[in-house]
């Protein structure tokens, strides 16, 4: 279903009247949050969701992010595909502070909606002690399949800001604030080569315990070597499966 969206109550009513809906594409302009609490709920059948926010009129005082409203008000347990721009993804992550694992993949089918941008990487950097986006994030997987500008240095700075050497005073202080240390990073860029020298810093973090996989059209340039200090057997198995996929696809 494709639809324009003006308010959260309209979306809630439509969802309640379409319980078997599996795919939903929303386009929003001057979105207003007038949600009716008893209309909100959980939709188990929706597996695909696209959100496009047209530039809004600044005179609309009640305007909020459609993505932020959708993810804070409604639940989609079966969701396996979300098409959204970087700003909308940031807005959604602001209302999901407990997220542990984030997988993002852009495709040629939606190049204008790619969320894998330098702006997203900057937003994911650990900021002040009082605020950070996705503060409990443990793993991040980025698969870039369309030619959207990607700044390697900003990505590396983001990873560095989220890594704290286990047992260090800084790590202890960060954990006491309710934040987590990033443990696993996977980056695959399928449309250009990756310079291993540029990612030397992540190689150094790998030596401290961070699990890193970086791959480009020239193959896997960085593969984690140290994972024994983390007690996450099931995650390790799934990550090795992902590494193999990165190598052969």
Contact 188, 142 (CB under 8 A): yes
DSSP string, the chain: -EEEEEEHHHHHHHHHH-TT--EEEEEEEEEE----GGG--B-SS--EEEEEEPPPPTT-TTB--HHHHHHHH-B-TT--EEEE-HHHHHHHHHT-TT--EEEEEE-TTSGGG---SHHHHHHHS---SS--SSTT--EEEEEE-S-----HHHHHHHHHHT---TTSHHHHHHHHTT-----EEEEEESSS---TTTTHHHHHHHHHT-EEEEEETTEEEEE----TTS--HHHHHHHHHHHHHHHH-
**pLDDT the model gives residue 87:** 85
C-alpha closest to that of 70 among 58, 55, 53, 56: 53
Residue 62 to residue 3: CA distance in whole angstroms? 21
**pLDDT the model gives residue 64:** 52
Q: How many residues does the chain have?
A: 249
Residue 159 to residue 222: CA distance in whole angstroms? 14
**pLDDT the model gives residue 54:** 63
Handedness of CA 165, 125, 31, 26 (dihedral sign): negative
Domain boundaries of the chain, sorted by first residue = 1-83, 97-249
Q: Take residue 199 and report the two structure tokens written for it.
A: 């990612």
**pLDDT the model gives residue 1:** 58
**pLDDT the model gives residue 232:** 44
Q: Tell me which residues of the chain have a pLDDT lower than 70.
A: 1-8, 28-40, 53-65, 109-111, 128-131, 224-249
Residue 121 to residue 102: CA distance in whole angstroms? 13
**pLDDT the model gives residue 185:** 93
């Amino acid at each position: 279903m494709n639809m324009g969206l003006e308010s959260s109550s309209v979306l809630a009513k439509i969802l309640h009247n379409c319980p078997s809906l599996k795919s939903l594409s929303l386009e929003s302009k001057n979105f207003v949050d007038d949600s009716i609490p008893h209309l909100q709920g959980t939709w188990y059948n929706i597996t695909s969701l696209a959100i496009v926010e047209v530039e809004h009129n600044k005179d609309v005082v009640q305007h909020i992010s459609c993505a932020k409203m959708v993810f804070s008000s409604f639940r989609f347990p079966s969701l396996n595909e979300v098409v959204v721009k970087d700003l909308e993804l940031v807005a959604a992550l602001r209302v999901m502070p407990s997220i542990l694992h984030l997988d993002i993949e852009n495709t040629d089918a939606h190049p204008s909606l790619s969320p894998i941008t330098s702006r997203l990487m900057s937003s994911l950097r650990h900021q002040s002690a009082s605020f950070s986006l996705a503060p409990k994030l443990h793993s991040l997987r980025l698969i870039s399949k369309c030619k959207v500008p990607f700044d390697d240095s900003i990505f590396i700075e983001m990873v560095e800001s989220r890594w704290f050497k286990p047992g260090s005073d800084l790590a202890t202080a960060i954990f006491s604030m309710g934040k987590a240390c990033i443990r696993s990073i996977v980056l695959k860029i399928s449309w250009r080569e990756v310079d291993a020298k540029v990612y030397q810093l992540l190689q150094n973090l790998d030596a401290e315990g961070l699990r890193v996989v970086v791959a480009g059209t020239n193959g896997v340039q960085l593969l984690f070597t140290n994972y024994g200090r983390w007690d996450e057997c099931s995650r390790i198995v799934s990550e090795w499966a992902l590494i193999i996929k990165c190598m052969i696809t």
